Amino acid sequence: MKWTVETKAIVAERLRAGDTAAQIGARLDVSRSAITGLLNRDKELAAIGFARSGTSFNGGRTPRITPEEKRERQRQYSRAYLQRRRNGSNVVPFPQVRRIVSNNVPVLVEDWLKLNGGPRRFEQGVTTDTWLVRQYLTDRGISVTGTYGKWKIVRGQGRPKTGTWAAVMEIVDEIRLAEGLQPFACRKTG
């Protein structure tokens, strides 16, 4: 757009009135970017600057906030921040009923044994390591291959079954239970 002297005078008048680039652009039927581009190129308009932004283009002087005003704004913000309402989903309620805490270790062990039936014991060298589980299943005629969370389980003839590592461990636990051994997965009894 060709900026005439009259158009620049209108822009200068609106800048002094405190309009933004978007408001001036709407009045002149040009974009906000065109107005800011004009201020970047014209030193007289840049000296006026945008009144609301607190800055100007090309080093022009505009009134700035004083340190006292800045401190007062910070105080107002901190007061408003402290007085804000807490989000209801953020509030953690305190327990209404006091809980009983016991330090009596023998009683705690007794309760745990009643609940769980005793500690789980595994034979020497048994782990849930991938290679050891695959070897354990291979010794029993089940082939397990797979990577990246997808496992192919082949039990003799027929199509192989695909599943996750949890499915492989379920098969291992079935076989271990059939052999009278402790399963890897912890199952609650009762």
The pair of three-digit structure tokens given for residue 93, joined into one six-digit string = 């309620």
Quickly state the pLDDT bin for 188 (edges 50, 70, 90): low
125 located within any domain:
no
Q: What is the pLDDT of residue 60?
A: 47
106 located within any domain:
no
- From 21, 41, 59, the end of a domain falls on 59
Number of domains into which the chain is organized = 2
Residue partners of 55: CB distance under 8 A and separation at least 6: 49, 62
164-188 per-residue burial string, b: 16 or more CB within 10 A, e: under 16? eeeebbebbbeebeeeeeebbeeee
70 located within any domain:
no
90 located within any domain:
no
19 located within any domain:
yes
CA 190 to chain centre: 39
187 located within any domain:
no
Containing structural domain, residue 148: 130-178
pTM greater than 0.85 = no
| pLDDT of residue 92 exceeding 80 | no
121 located within any domain:
no
Give the span between the Cα atoms of 14 and 87, in whole angstroms: 43
Give the span between the Cα atoms of 84 and 86, in whole angstroms: 6
Give the span between the Cα atoms of 147 and 165, in whole angstroms: 10
167 located within any domain:
yes
The pair of three-digit structure tokens given for residue 64, joined into one six-digit string = 């700035």
**Residue 50: other Cβ atoms inside 10 A:** 21
Q: What is the pLDDT of residue 95?
A: 65
What does pLDDT average to over the chain?
80
| pLDDT of residue 88 exceeding 70 | no
What digits encode the pLDDT tens for the residues 31-55? Answer: 989 998 998 888 888 888 765 544 4
- From 26, 42, 59, the end of a domain falls on 59
- From 25, 44, 59, the end of a domain falls on 59
